[in-house]
Amino acid sequence: MNGQSFNDELYKRASYLMWKERWAEAGRLLKPECTDEKRDWRACWNLGWCYFKMRNLESARKFLIRATKFSPTNAASKWALGIVYLDLEQFGKAEKILTESLRIKESHSTRIALDLAYLAQGKVTEAENAHLAGIRMRPKRSEGYESYAAFLSDVGRDDKAQKMQRKARQFKKLN
The predicted structure's pLDDT at residue 4: 53
Between CA 168 and CA 12 the distance in angstroms is 37
> Which residue stretches of the chain have pLDDT < 50?
1-3
Confidence at residue 141, expressed as pLDDT on a 0 to 100 scale: 87
Whole-number pLDDT of residue 140: 87
Question: Residue 151 in contact with residue 127, Cβ under 8 Å?
Answer: yes
- Domains, in order of start, for the chain: 1-71 (1.25.40.10)
